[in-house]
Structure 1
């Protein structure tokens, strides 16, 4: 893990040194990221919410950085990485501190006839329980980190309509983030 984090930090510095943002959304954060969180701050968050963050995400926010100067946070895909305290952006109802500890109802590869009806059949059910909002993609779409359930550690993207969320091909947060950095360094304009 330390080698992966160091490699990501080097790539992030290289992305920040490029002239002008080229990737969609980069003008919101300019490849800047806020300072890393302390171990005490992360432990406090985990205890308040009854969760254990995936090791790669935890390592990133305690080593590389967290949040940042943009309206939607710091250097990251689309409009940037949200601060951890904005975990509840995907929730449809009022935030409940127990939401992160619940299993996320979506599974990779599963096809839904009607995502919301299947994931949240009750009036007060929350379809995005068990997820932490990572970043805003625009048009109300978000990137989320799954904290509970069979897809724990994976990144999923919200989608309007009946098809439900889309899992990225990445096995974990750090792979997703590094894939974005690789796209930036290759001069790509969009990330998927």
Structure 2
């Protein structure tokens, strides 16, 4: 058995056991996911996801999908689920009361360059047009519209190469990086507090298992 496969032995049973606890809804986010897990995915399904991604899934996450479930119970308001739709595979909030935004496999398979783009965004912040610098209102509106368009382009591009994995609340989300040197790591989108998309220092297995251990300790199971 590979190491990442051993990581998930018994985890599905542990999660589902929490659903039976009379105070399970006291765990943050549990009222939204109810400690329910989607069915596990097949090897054939994972290969289809990877074909749309253009890269292999991170090993620990792949093992989770095969052994624990496609989504559902997990940190914050629960895990997004890889789902096949008319436009191909994408991550959606199946069974979640408070899902994160969907991510297409094609978008998640692009290069992850959030750190590099943050520098450009910070510089662009300092270049926001101010009305006093323009002779007419129309000149200012045009300049500001161009600036805003470029800002939104860079802002959206920061999300490429990762999957929105879990909604934290208040606009904050957890992401799983799919490409590049940070592949397999969990990052956080902290842009609503005027920060950036930043690393948590955890891979997927540590991130998920830490959540499960905290939930078990809280409910003393």
Flag whether TM exceeds 0.5 (same fold). yes
Task: Please list every run of 5 or more consecutive structure 1 residues that lacks an aligned counterpart in the other structure.
Answer: 68-73
The alpha-carbon deviation at position 123 of structure 1 amounts to 5.9
Does 1 or 2 have the higher relative contact order (CA < 8 Å, sep 6+)? Answer: 1
User: What's the counterpart of residue 158 of structure 2?
Assistant: 127
User: What's the counterpart of residue 113 of structure 2?
Assistant: 105
The alpha-carbon deviation at position 134 of structure 1 amounts to 1.0
User: What's the counterpart of residue 6 of structure 1?
Assistant: 9
1:173-188 mapped onto 2 (5 Å cutoff): 173-187=204-218
Aligned residue pair count: 174
Structure 2 counterpart SS, 1:87: strand
Structure 1 or 2: more strand by fraction: 2
Structure 1, 31-40 or 17-26: larger mean CA deviation: 17-26
Structure 1 or 2: more helix by fraction: 2
Larger Rg: 2
Structure 1 counterpart SS, 2:201: coil
Cα distance in 2, alignment partners of residues 84 and 39 from structure 1: 13
RMSD: 2.8
Residue of 146, 169, 172 corresponding to 1:141: 172
The alpha-carbon deviation at position 142 of structure 1 amounts to 1.3
Task: Please list every run of 5 or more consecutive structure 2 residues that lacks an aligned counterpart in the other structure.
Answer: 84-89, 93-99, 125-149
Cα distance in 2, alignment partners of residues 149 and 49 from structure 1: 13
CA contact (8 A) 1:80 1:135 kept: yes
